[in-house]
Chains A and B, each alone.
Chain A
Amino acid sequence: MNATTQQQVFEIIAKQAKTDVASVKPDSTLKDLGIASLEAIELIFDIEEHFNINFPDQQGANFDRDTAQSLVDAVDKALADKAAGGEGAA
Chain B
Amino acid sequence: MTARSSPEEPVLRVRNLRVAFPAPGGAVHPVDGVSFDLHRGRTLALVGESGCGKSLTSLSLLRLLPPPGRIEPGSEIRLDGVDVLALEGEALRAIRGRRIGMIFQDPMTSLNPVFRVGDQIAEGILAHFKIPKREARERAIALLREVGFPDPARRADAFPHQLSGGMRQRVMIAIALAAEPDILVADEPTTALDVTVQAQILEVLDRLRASRGMAVLLITHDLGIVAGRADRVAVMYAGQIVEEAPTAELFARPSHPYTQGLFASIPRLDGPVRRLNPIPGTVPSPHAWPSGCRFRPRCPRAFEKSVLEPPLFTVGPDHRMRCWLGEHAGEQ
Q: Do A and B bind each other?
A: no
Question: What is the interface of chain B, defined by CB distance below 8 A to chain A?
Answer: none
Question: What is the interface of chain A, defined by CB distance below 8 A to chain B?
Answer: none
